[in-house]
Amino acid sequence: MTFYVVLVLLVGVERLAELVVAVRNKRWALERGGREYGAGHYPFMVVLHTALLAGCLAEAFHRPFLPWLGWPMLVLAVAAQALRWWCIRTLGHQWNTKIIVVPGMPLVTGGPYRFFAHPNYVAVVVEGFALPLVHSAWLTALVFTVLNAGLLTVRIRAENAALRAATV
């Protein structure tokens, strides 16, 4: 159980690191005429992702660690983190937790963007079920996955519209 608590706390620290990068990149984008899109769903996203971590911790106290499930889910959760940071590195200053588009910037097609239009969201989906299931927190995995599906529908539509608007 201690290992799992440390794991979830490390993911929380990783989220804080993402926010530091996002604030820096937002400043960079706005200095270059960047425009934010789809801000209305952002507070829900913050609450949902915070609730994922809290739910993992709360539910894990009532669930056993099942090695046959936990170890493969740990591999997936770590792989999701690696994919997320590959996305961040590939996008560089253009990566953000918010949807901010700088006019005239080319669409990134390298790194994981060669394979998926939205690879960061693949990482979010995988992490959303894998991290809770490392310690059998199936209810957290289920609730997050369902709510996140709705959020990603809104987010991807907003992001695609923002990218279309920036290329017109």
Q: How confident is the model at residue 125 (pLDDT cuts 50, 70, 90)?
A: very high
Query: Predicted confidence band at 168 (pLDDT cuts at 50, 70, 90)?
Result: low
Q: Is 69 exposed, middle or buried (0-12, 13-18, 19+ CB in 10 A)?
A: middle
Give the residues across from 99 on adjacent strands: 37
Is the pLDDT higher at 105 or at 124? 124
Predicted TM-score (pTM) of the model is 0.92
The full set of domains in the chain, from first to last, is: 2-22+37-167 (1.20.120)
Closest CA to 134 of 59, 54, 57, 74: 74
